[in-house]
Structure 1
Amino acid sequence: MRDTSFCSVSCALILIFCLTFSSAFSKTVPLRIVSVNGTLSEILVGLGLESQIVGVDITSTYPPSLEKLPKIGHNRNISSEGILALNPDVIVTSDQSMMSANVLKQLNSSGKKVVTFKQEYSEEGTVNLIREMGSYFNAKPQAEKMIKSLKSDLAKLPKTTTPKKLLFIYARGTGTLMVSGKNTSLDKMFTLIGHKNAVTDFTDFKPLTSESLLAANPDVLVLFSSGLESVDGIDGLLKVPGVAYTNAGKNRKIVSMDGQFLTGFGPRLGKAAAELAQKVK
């Protein structure tokens, strides 16, 4: 009887020790995360997971501390080999990613966990994205803190009484000029701040032509800072056929912003919207 009781107590103690050890071990071995999207990288940092990120794409520029991490490329230039070489436990991407289907298939076949988060270009979509990531990584309090800050920023946006026509030009030198149509992140940002897209007859992006530019006749031209630099600034842009004859060109109403900040639709959405609204006044 005594031996049986001793064995029962011993087994119980061993079980408790094993469970405690297992729990402690799981807490001390962090996930190795690779992010294929700048907005997701920013959210991961906000969730307190920066130390677990082992690789990012080149759009992951904020916070600046991410710059020191290994880079896996950009959009369709990303290879599965570059990601898998970092031995990640989790690879996070969004449904807006331009990563090729073949690379995504290779990653899914590798045995590594690939998590695709839904990203919608709106206040609600951004809130849902942050909340979904917070839930997945067991960091709900940190997610709610980001959401509270985001909503506070958006609540401070000024009301627009005289909407202007805005046109976004994606530039990589004068040889590559594209304009943003409906349902793009730029289109949604323009709407968010109470203005409107100067072009509404197509979705996604199309090459810029002088004819379409004059027909749209935007009041303000918006570019990424890197894009404006690639065409030698405002003076260089005004030399592009048609630009100088638009209302924006005549008034030199050309604004630029950091690309990821402007189009990320992440935790800094309210701040980006406020900066753009101020610049297009």
Structure 2
Amino acid sequence: MQRRALLGLAATLPLARPARAELSRIVTVGGAVTETVFALGAGAQVVAVDSTSLFPAAARALPQVGYLRSLAPEGLISLDPDLLLLSDEAGPPQSIAVLRAAGAPVAMIPDGAGAAAVRRKITAIAQALGQDGSGLADAVAADWAALDAPIAALRPARALFVLSAARGAPLVSGRNTHADALLAAVGAENCVTEFQGYRPLSAESSAQRAPEVIVMMEHALAEAGGIDGVLRATALSVTPAAATRRVVALEGSYMLNFGPRAAHARRDLAARLHPAANLPALPARPWV
């Protein structure tokens, strides 16, 4: 019934105008999508973004359309966009169906983690914009590849990625997450492998895994009360990481978006996990 009601709503919405050869009103949804559009030089045409689009600073000054997983189709269509660039994580599915039924110019961009996923995102977004994105894609790939051999030579650090430690048992990353892919890319071994996605971790389970380092997003670390607050959590206080106070944090979208800044984020996190490593400096890219 909800789906029928939403599709019925599409019939009452004004049809979005057909995409023009020159795009002047672009809406981007998804942090990596927004970063890539700006990196490709089309930031001036972006008129609205979602709440996960935190970089570059110019994106944060734009009107917001809400959270990418809970989009309101009528609000998007009211912006009269030439192009809606949506991460394929955007939703709910009913809202995407309404947008399509209303004739909105929707382009879904595949999400994912890792070097190949970054290239796919850049290529798909460039095609939607009518551009050749090979220059950007090749540059990011070259920066990423420059780190492969130096990082492969490192002894992997046993790491635990903590999504949140502010309330109750810490929520940690298992397999098949962006965080899991990130740890593998920076010379770390995710010590949680028996489940996929994110789940709470008990003190007994944490002690058995014995992580040497805890990796977090900066805002999650702050919400938990800093390093002291994190290490007071029962499940984390029993770890080797707590004994050495090894908690490493970076800005969340920088670490996990896997957009044009992915190679630089990889290097920055690897350097923090392996402070004695001799990692090559990466070029100063304008999109970073």
Normalized against structure 2, the TM-score is what?
Answer: 0.82
- SS of the residue corresponding to residue 115 of structure 1 reads strand
Q: How does 1:51-130 map to 2 (within 5 A)?
A: 51-95=44-88, 97-130=89-122
Aligned residue in 2 for 1:191: 184
- Please tell me whether the aligned partners of residues 27 and 85 of structure 2 are also in contact (alpha carbons under 8 angstroms): yes
Aligned residue in 2 for 1:42: 35
Cα separation, partners in 2 of 1:135 and 1:75, compared to 1, 3 Å: closer
Aligned residue in 2 for 1:145: 135
Q: Take 1:108 and 1:259, find their aligned partners in 2: how far apart are those partners?
A: 31
Q: Of residues 234, 246, 256 in structure 2, which corresponds to 1:241?
A: 234
Q: Take 1:72 and 1:176, find their aligned partners in 2: how far apart are those partners?
A: 32
- SS of the residue corresponding to residue 242 of structure 2 reads helix
Q: Of residues 144, 149, 157 in structure 2, which corresponds to 1:154?
A: 144
Q: Cα deviation per residue 1:246-281 (whole Å; 9 max; x = unaligned)?
A: 011111110111111000111111000001101111
Q: Cα deviation per residue 1:48-77 (whole Å; 9 max; x = unaligned)?
A: 111111111111111111111001111333
1:168 corresponds to 2:152? no
Cα separation, partners in 2 of 1:226 and 1:176, compared to 1, 3 Å: farther
Q: Cα deviation per residue 1:62-104 (whole Å; 9 max; x = unaligned)?
A: 1111111001111333322332222212211122x15211222
- Please tell me whether the aligned partners of residues 87 and 108 of structure 2 are also in contact (alpha carbons under 8 angstroms): yes
Aligned residue in 2 for 1:133: 125
- SS of the residue corresponding to residue 263 of structure 2 reads helix
Aligned residue in 2 for 1:16: none
Q: Of residues 196, 200, 203 in structure 1, which corresponds to 2:193?
A: 200
Q: Take 2:97 and 2:169, find their aligned partners in 1: how far apart are those partners?
A: 31
Tell me which amino acid in the other structure corresponds to 1:148.
Answer: D
Deviates more, 1:219-228 or 1:147-156: 147-156
- SS of the residue corresponding to residue 76 of structure 1 reads coil
Superposition misfits of 4+ residues, deviation over 6 angstroms = none
1:135 Cα deviation (Å)? Answer: 2.2
- Please tell me whether the aligned partners of residues 189 and 273 of structure 1 are also in contact (alpha carbons under 8 angstroms): yes
- Please tell me whether the aligned partners of residues 166 and 220 of structure 1 are also in contact (alpha carbons under 8 angstroms): yes
**Rg: which structure is higher?**
1
- Please tell me whether the aligned partners of residues 262 and 272 of structure 1 are also in contact (alpha carbons under 8 angstroms): yes
Cα separation, partners in 2 of 1:199 and 1:192, compared to 1, 3 Å: same
- SS of the residue corresponding to residue 117 of structure 2 reads helix
1:218 corresponds to 2:233? no
Cα separation, partners in 2 of 1:75 and 1:214, compared to 1, 3 Å: farther
Tell me which amino acid in the other structure corresponds to 1:168.
Answer: F
Q: Take 2:170 and 2:77, find their aligned partners in 1: how far apart are those partners?
A: 34
- Please tell me whether the aligned partners of residues 172 and 200 of structure 2 are also in contact (alpha carbons under 8 angstroms): yes
Tell me which amino acid in the other structure corresponds to 2:230.
Answer: L
Aligned residue in 2 for 1:12: none
- SS of the residue corresponding to residue 199 of structure 2 reads strand
Q: Take 1:65 and 1:30, find their aligned partners in 2: how far apart are those partners?
A: 18
Q: Percent identity?
A: 29
- SS of the residue corresponding to residue 77 of structure 1 reads coil
- SS of the residue corresponding to residue 226 of structure 1 reads helix
Aligned residue in 2 for 1:272: 265
- SS of the residue corresponding to residue 232 of structure 2 reads coil
Tell me which amino acid in the other structure corresponds to 1:47.
Answer: L
1:133 Cα deviation (Å)? Answer: 1.8
Deviates more, 1:267-276 or 1:85-94: 85-94
Q: Take 1:176 and 1:75, find their aligned partners in 2: how far apart are those partners?
A: 27
Q: Take 1:89 and 1:60, find their aligned partners in 2: how far apart are those partners?
A: 19
Q: Which is richer in helix?
A: 1
Tell me which amino acid in the other structure corresponds to 2:41.
Answer: G
- Please tell me whether the aligned partners of residues 174 and 230 of structure 1 are also in contact (alpha carbons under 8 angstroms): no
1:234 Cα deviation (Å)? Answer: 0.2
Aligned residues: 252
Structure 2 residue runs of 5 or longer lacking an equivalent are 1-19, 275-288
